[in-house]
Amino acid sequence: MADPLPGPTRFQGGPASAAAKITINPEWEVHPLDVHKMKTSGTEIFILDVRQQKEWDIARIDGALLIPLDQLPQRFAELESRRDKPIVVHCHHGVRSLRAAAWLRQAGFTQVKSMAGGIDAWSLLVDQTVCRY
């Protein structure tokens, strides 16, 4: 499957003040704080985690569904009911989730974005109880 990926997400690791400096491509990405606002405001949002099981076992976002990136193309049918609904994909830092977003868009999913900075940014900016690794 071809990958029409956007430019890379730039994420400043380290203290939370530096983590707030996430630069996003709004066509392809959403900021973790915006994902949190959507979740807490009741906005319809589905969070897809494309990391591996061992990563999921360390840290996860409540309510997310795990489908590892290497299994995603074979499991598109599991997401069919969300074809025209908002999907936010995340991984550890945002690289795999951009690839997943591209694959899903190519498969006809219309409202897919990657969470910039991944679960690492989520842990720094949104929920410090989520372990960093």
Do 59 and 131 contact (CB within 8 A), yes or no?
yes
Do 115 and 35 contact (CB within 8 A), yes or no?
yes
At position 109, the amino acid (one-letter code) is: F
Say which of 50, 91, 104, 119 is annotated catalytic: 91
Rounded Cα–Cα distance for residues 112 and 130 (Å) = 24
> Is 131 a catalytic site residue?
no
Cα–Cα nearest to 104, from 118, 124, 121, 89: 89
At position 95, the amino acid (one-letter code) is: V
Catalytic residues: 91
